[in-house]
A and B are shown apart, each in its own frame.
Chain A
């Protein structure tokens, strides 16, 4: 890989985005889990639930702040590193980002301070409302970000304006209710819920292994396993929905994810495993399952899913069509729009393919002068590198199913076996803590790497989207981010571990008062007061 501005900008964006997404899924899920715990506290008035809310809330806070801080980088990096992208699609892409701030981020950020500082200043119910507002705000944030991202995958509700040389919004409604965005939103927030559930479950399992904070840990596992099971099921179901929309709107990404080199007769088979070979256009040692791909991808028996070879041919046609649009555009631009109707019409007819002509800019300054070889090469460029997508996708899906099994098992033990967890299962619970993060990052990798060579699918090539910067600029900021983010990561992990080891703050007096008040109700038939008190 050459160290050019495009590659370095991609590397920096990928790095900072994936780093940001280390904190986001936990924020999404933990905000809800904490709000659920506080709801139980308000309903039952049992101090243990308040202690749980505060304990998990502290971990939430340590994580949240880095999510916020690294999110600033995301908001600014489009302009810093992707200035032509910002100009070209800002009219559409900027809107959901700004609305995210207005509708969601203000809400969560304004109330999160009150969540930590308002315990003594607010009534119980008011504080509970605050907790839910933080959770709702966080999740709404994700909605708007995924509407923005969904538009990059499936650019609806917009058209190119030759007078301003950019895409402009034609229908806010279409941008908002973009099927890809909606499917991605539910898939992504569910993944966040799974992440938080696995985290809560894992930390609680560790307490049980150590014999500490038994009451807190058991109740936490109860919440995490039931919430986690629901979420793990929805991640997979909605991931399937996401895949279904991909079949319609991002055919090349689907073909690359699945290593489908040639078009198969419907219903296509699913390649469970294999070794994709880009040059030979073949997947070696493949294990196929008949029909499955066709069924999942099209939900029908007779719809054909196009393979990579066919899609490359289609790309070539679209490049040639785009060259006509580009030619008309140059005339319109030169004459400031004062051109004959037939040129306008020609542009309108071919403008959907304009982005394909821009693919040629990698090889020639003026796409109209491209040779047949360059056109063929540009068509070939529309195929992303297959093997990382193929594998990342399979690992993600495998983990998704594994989470259903794990959550199901813990849910079963928690509900029907009186929380008697075998020690091996607790060790396993601790060991899988990193797994949801791996799945989430791989998911983003599939979505974004699979969209290459485009930043906006079919509209704007990545190579054209960057800022006019030097390699030196990029190396300075890249080194800066790596150093700075690594230090922050070490600090964050250190604090997380410190506060997990420290455990919840147990207000013994408060607990005793509560037991005294409720003793008559708690006493079991043999006269013992059951474990309302934390174990130590």
Chain B
């Protein structure tokens, strides 16, 4: 096939780096409010009917939202196989915890109201809390570790090897910087969940969501600022040594990497990227303001903008690095040496260009059909068919 030469290897790699960002942001914007709502559930809703209202705000859409996550996994596998191989095995036990939480969540939504027993329902409420809170925290912790570099190296056969025993690997993930980033994502997604609840609920639930959501937003903002300062003074950055080969074979060992620089050097090299953190701050600040002042749809949109800014900040700061190695910088994965082949990237792009607009279109239609507030009357009137 000659067709794939239409787009250069280098360009395709950049496009897939962007698409990776699109998928992660899509995941955070949609599944993010599911997780936020799950984590908020025990605190914004006290009675059974209140809890059912909260669950039914996401009841019809969580399945579609979750696909962003699954597609994210699939796309990383297809477009960035070394990233998939290294990160999923390296964060093994953390991934297992995320998996367990993510399995618990769908089951919780679906099964919770299928029995009357109060003990049954309250167990599922806590399962939903865990299913929302644990991934929200761990995703941030993972990003925090990626920024610091992860202790892996590649053999000459490109087999990823991890240093350390299993409990050490797991506990080492929970270092102070990583926990800080974990709090940013936790606060951000709970704020987002609260913003969703202001759109979909009313009365006491919405009021509680506004209070907690604003606090969570403040935590996320403060954490985001602190993490920036920490990056400037306490975390080493990575840089490719020598000429960058952007269209070479995907073999990380072919390039040299140093740890001499700072991540923030990216902002002097490409000052325009400062727009990402600025958007992050503006979005979160406006979302907090909206939560406090009674905004609904606008609050949700600001919250989305904030998330977009925060996630883009991480990607743009690290570019072209995707997964740096702390023990063997040469093994670090970058946009230029950790992708799939030229042909695979091209084929996947064609498929994405066809289907992604369709997905956005029908997802938008489904949200439109389901538009409107969920009330306690809705839940009691359709007690058998809703969650």
Contact = CB atoms under 8 A, between A and B. Distances in A.
A487 B87 CA distance: 29
Contact of B92 (A80, A101, A170, A333): A80
A468 B161 contact: yes
Contacts of A424: none
A166 interface: yes
Interface centre among B59, B67, B158, B165 (most CB of A within 10 A): B67
Given A101-B74, A117-B370, A164-B251, A109 B66 contact: yes
B250 interface: yes
Interface in A63-78: 65-66, 68-73, 75-76, 78
Interface string A489-503: 001000100110000
A72 B89 CA distance: 15
Contact of B93 (A99, A100, A117, A473): A473
A87 B81 contact: yes
Given A90-B85, A102-B352, A170 B111 contact: no
Given A73-B103, A94-B74, A97-B74, A491 B81 contact: no
A122 B60 CA distance: 14
Given A90-B77, A112-B63, A472-B165, A165 B340 contact: no
Interface string B71-115: 101110111011011111100110110011011001101110011
Contacts of A122: 369
B73 A75 contact: yes
A415 to B, nearest CB: 34
Given A476-B166, A477-B96, A110 B254 contact: no
Contacts of A484: 100, 103
B85 A488 contact: no
Given A87-B159, A171-B1, A98 B251 contact: no
Interface centre among B59, B81, B359, B369 (most CB of A within 10 A): B81
B377 interface: no
B70 interface: yes
Nearest to A144: B74
A98 B88 CA distance: 16
Given A95-B344, A95-B347, A169-B341, A101 B75 contact: yes
A83 B89 contact: yes
A524 interface: no
A71 B70 contact: yes
A274 interface: no
Contacts of B384: 505
B293 interface: no
Given A91-B81, A102-B352, A106-B64, A163 B70 contact: no
Interface string A450-470: 000000000000000001111
Contacts of B79: 94, 98
Interface in B333-372: 340-341, 343-344, 347-348, 351-352, 355-356, 359, 362-363, 366, 369-370
Interface residues of A, number: 77
B355 A472 contact: no
A68 B75 contact: no
A94 B84 contact: yes
Contacts of B60: 113-114, 116-118
A74 to B, nearest CB: 10
Interface in A263-293: none
Nearest to A72: B102
B160 interface: yes
Contacts of B47: none
B209 to A, nearest CB: 21
A505 B382 CA distance: 12
B134 to A, nearest CB: 14
A62 interface: yes
A461 B73 CA distance: 24
A75 B166 contact: no
B251 to A, nearest CB: 5
B249 interface: yes
Contacts of A75: 70, 73-74, 77
A469 B343 CA distance: 32
A114 B78 contact: no
Given A81-B89, A94-B78, A69 B249 contact: no
Given A73-B103, A480-B100, A484-B100, A469 B89 contact: yes
Contacts, number: 253
A105 B70 contact: yes
Interface of chain A: mostly helix, strand, loop or mixed: helix
B260 interface: no
B85 A114 contact: no
B23 to A, nearest CB: 9
A111 B249 CA distance: 41
Interface centre among B92, B249, B356 (most CB of A within 10 A): B92
A118 B385 CA distance: 10
A498 B115 contact: yes
Contacts of A79: 73, 77, 84-85, 87-89, 95
A119 interface: yes
A172 to B, nearest CB: 5
A36 interface: no
B347 A488 contact: no
A209 B161 CA distance: 60
Contact of A83 (B63, B88, B96, B110): B88
A92 interface: yes
A498 B114 contact: yes
B156 interface: yes
B20 to A, nearest CB: 11
B343 A90 contact: no
A72 B70 contact: yes
Contacts of B263: none
Contacts of B64: 106, 109-111, 113
B95 A80 contact: yes
A94 B77 contact: yes
Contact of A97 (B78, B161, B254): B78
Nearest to B160: A83
A93 B66 CA distance: 22
Nearest to A361: B157
B59 to A, nearest CB: 7
B61 interface: yes
A380 interface: no
19 contacts: A54-B385, A65-B110, A70-B103, A72-B70, A84-B157, A84-B160, A87-B159, A90-B84, A93-B77, A94-B74, A94-B77, A99-B78, A103-B355, A161-B249, A468-B89, A468-B160, A476-B166, A477-B96, A495-B111
Interface of B: 1, 59-64, 66-67, 69-71, 73-75, 77-79, 81-82, 84-89, 92-93, 95-96, 99-100, 102-103, 106-107, 109-111, 114-115, 156-162, 165-167, 249-251, 254, 340-341, 343-344, 347-348, 351-352, 355-356, 359, 362-363, 366, 369-370, 384-386
Given A62-B111, A97-B78, A102-B352, 7 more contacts: A68-B66, A72-B99, A98-B351, A106-B64, A113-B60, A116-B60, A477-B96
Interface of A: 54, 61-62, 65-66, 68-73, 75-76, 78-81, 83-84, 86-87, 90-95, 97-103, 105-107, 109-114, 116-119, 121-122, 161, 163-166, 168-172, 333, 336, 467-470, 472-473, 476-477, 480, 484, 488, 491, 495, 498-499, 505
* For the complex of A and B, 8 pairs with smallest distance between CB atoms: A90-B81, A79-B88, A94-B78, A113-B60, A101-B71, A110-B64, A94-B77, A467-B89
